[in-house]
Amino acid sequence: MFGEYRYTDAFRMIEQEPEQYTWWSNRGRAWDNNVGWRLDYHVVTPGLKDKVERTAIYRDQRFSDHAPITMDFDWVHGS
């Protein structure tokens, strides 16, 4: 998917810092210590790759053992 079809992990395209996780075990205070995995991706087609502007992992509230990725695009409907 990433090679042959040139899809892109949009989060990693913008955010290069290490330890950017979207899932934490419920054991051992993983959330508090930010010891996790990045299991949740925002994959885009080659046509959307240049439209990605900003991304973040929403950690202000804890809903479950996952945190949502937010993504902003420079996109106008019909363009």
**pTM for the complete prediction?**
0.78
CB-side exposure of 15: number of CA atoms within 13 Å? 19
For 38-57, the pLDDT digits (tens) are: 998 899 999 999 999 999 99
- Which residue segment(s) compose the domain that 53 sits in? 8-73
In a domain, 1, yes or no: no
Judge whether 55 and 40 are in contact, CB under 8 Å.
no
**Hey, is 33 helix, strand or coil?**
helix
How much of the chain, in percent, has pLDDT values that exceed 70? 97
Dihedral pair phi/psi, residue 51, rounded to 5°: -95, -10
The answer to whether position 21 is within a domain reads yes
Q: How many domains does the chain have?
A: 1
Query: Is the residue at 13 inside a domain?
Result: yes
d(CA 78, CA 15) in angstroms, rounded, equals: 28
Q: What is the pLDDT of residues 27-42, one digit of tens each?
A: 999 999 999 999 988 9
